[in-house]
A and B are shown apart, each in its own frame.
Chain A
Amino acid sequence: MRALTLPARFRRDDGDRSGQGVLCLVLLLLLLALACLVSLGSGPTGVNLGHLWLYLTGRGEALAVQERVVLEAVRLPRTALGILVGAGLGVSGAMMQGLFRNPLADPGVVGVTSGAALFAVAGIVFGHGVLAPVSMALGSQFLPLMAFFGGLLNTWLLYCIATRGNQTHTTTLVLSGIAVGALSAALTGLLIFMADDRQLRDITFWSLGSLGGATFARVLSVLPFVALVMVVIPFVARGLDALILGDAAAFHMGIPVQRLKRLVILAVAAACGATVAVAGSIGFVGIVVPHLLRLMIGPAHRFLLPASAIGGGALLLLADSVARTVVSPAELPIGIITALFGAPVFLLLLLRRKGHHHRGDAA
């Protein structure tokens, strides 16, 4: 049925971009598959593409032991982690922008990531002291959960501060985001000051923001959070679309607005917290990916959210492959790569909006 109607839907002037949305999702999945191959194949130790193919098709016994170990113990968990982290970042960015009705809202820019980082550091510092029982009970889920609560706290704070009378002003949003982020950073600094040598080493290691040191245990610790966000997508997509017309219009169209907002805030905090906990702060993926996708398929969330997840995963894998090859055998922190690519896009967006129309500021 869909295949039959597809050609008609491709006409750009008919206003229905569902065809483009479906096509884009398919292409992004291909891109993700390609990025997986690149990620599995790149690094200080070369893995021959032919060998990689043999391995992936279940004929791994043909590979040298060293290659197999590299693939199984290093590349596979790293690639899986990259997909999860990238997907989490992409989707939480897109959701946050929908919630705030502002294409510049990004968990990194508006201080949600800092909140997650604060709580993660608190987890490291107090994990063997006051919070030891909790830390013991939760095991590898402890840091992601801490980061989740930190992200939740800051998202909620920000929403209360920046959204007045059904609107979120860009200026208020960004400024209060900076303030909330600065407060979190200051508290993080205080914690670092209090930390002993061993905790300091843990913090430094963690805050470099890298996919390095990925293990399947880590993959499993983020998986539930990212999975939760993916499950939430179909329940919030229609509501987020309606919300762009305003709270009142969304309510008129049958959306339980407050419940929707709570769900989105929870999902953003979960995705953001979990990714920060395992990979540190990686900026701009959440802005750049949804923005580029909106240019291609429009802002309808039933396509934008899954596309941001897949696109975010692919982008992060590619950035990570660059990070570990350009200065090989050393590694660049992946945050540097995403910022180099993302910050100019962010500025461009800001400038274009400024030139666009002044009243757009209130949107």
Chain B
Amino acid sequence: MIRADAVTVERAGRRLLDSVSLTLEPGTMTVIIGPNGAGKSTLLKALTGELELSSGAVTYDGVRLAAHDPQALAARRAVLPQASELAFPFTALEIVRMGAVAQGALDPSAAARTALARVGLSGFEGRAFPSLSGGEQQRVQFARALAQVPRPVEAGIARALFLDEPTASLDLGHQIGVLETARAFATEGGIVLAILHDLNLAAEFADRIVVLYKGRVVAEGPAVETLSDATIATVYGIRGAVGRMPAAHIPFILPQARHGASA
């Protein structure tokens, strides 16, 4: 279990996170939503141990984060960063292999191949990372995170996946693919925390949604409770958009409707 207790982060006189408390339970997928500049990435960084807190504490199973060394943390959680660039042309396999090495895999190359297959990139092993499309790069990075925590629960301790906008440069099909993999990780006992901008995807995949606004948690709970007209209006300034049909001449695509169609 990963907990944030009254976490406050201040930088250059600005309060980026204001007394945020949050519990990430094993077996649940939590999604953070909120407008630009709400502090979503800052919260994720605080939870992964990347950031110095101004006050408050982050604990992994009751142990304060500062007491963990980088290696111990790496065994507990993997992080998918936002799009990043590379100065040197590693192959896709070599990137994913780094995650497997961090995990301590006995045969990191084989573990990396498995992880690439999980994100649907078998056959891309030898491609130079800079030559891949933005979406493919994102999935390679996702495979790297999966290679670092290949099993959701190990030695009775839940592992965690932190995903910072995992769907940012993906097409609809791959957005769902990545989130389904993350969802399965949670269902099998792992901890997943994702930042998403797409509220429909958040509504479908999250067990719990945390709505962040100006560094504070303004709503928290299942999608039905948190994605209300009132919350969306306060946070995004958009009114009357929850659960209603658009005007007849505008087509709309709701990925979560696919479950209804197949049923």
Contact = CB atoms under 8 A, between A and B. Distances in A.
Interface in B66-88: 69-75, 77-79, 81, 84-88
A18 B86 contact: no
B64 interface: no
Contact of B98 (A18, A241, A362): A241
Contacts of A178: none
Interface string A44-74: 0000000000000000000000000000000
B125 A253 contact: no
B75 A103 contact: no
Interface in B130-159: 148
B125 A359 contact: no
Interface in B81-118: 81, 84-95, 97-99, 101-102, 109
Interface range, A side: 20 to 34
B91 A298 contact: yes
A299 B69 contact: no
Interface stretch (A115-123, A140-148, A244-252): A244-252
B50 interface: yes
B98 to A, nearest CB: 6
Interface in A239-291: 241-242, 244-246, 248-249, 251-257
Given A14-B93, A16-B93, A246 B81 contact: yes
Given A16-B125, A248-B81, A253 B99 contact: yes
B196 to A, nearest CB: 20
Contact of B69 (A244, A249, A256): A256
Contact of A300 (B72, B86, B90): B90
B30 interface: no
A42 B86 CA distance: 43
Nearest to A301: B88
A102 B124 CA distance: 25
A300 B126 contact: no
Interface range, B side: 35 or more
Interface in A216-254: 238, 241-242, 244-246, 248-249, 251-254
Interface in B41-83: 45, 48-50, 69-75, 77-79, 81
Contacts of A294: 88-89
B95 A299 contact: no
Contact of A13 (B94, B102, B125): B125
B90 A298 contact: yes
B76 to A, nearest CB: 10
A294 B87 CA distance: 12
A169 to B, nearest CB: 11
B118 to A, nearest CB: 16
Nearest to A252: B79
B239 interface: no
Given A15-B127, A18-B109, A241-B98, A252 B50 contact: yes
13 contacts: A15-B125, A103-B88, A238-B101, A241-B98, A245-B81, A248-B45, A248-B81, A252-B78, A254-B102, A255-B70, A256-B69, A298-B89, A363-B85
Given A242-B102, A298-B94, A360-B85, 5 more contacts: A13-B125, A101-B87, A248-B45, A252-B50, A299-B89
User: Shortest 4 CB-CB distances between A and B: which pairs?
Assistant: A254-B74, A15-B93, A15-B125, A299-B88
Interface of A: 11-18, 101-103, 238, 241-242, 244-246, 248-249, 251-257, 294, 298-300, 359-360, 362-363
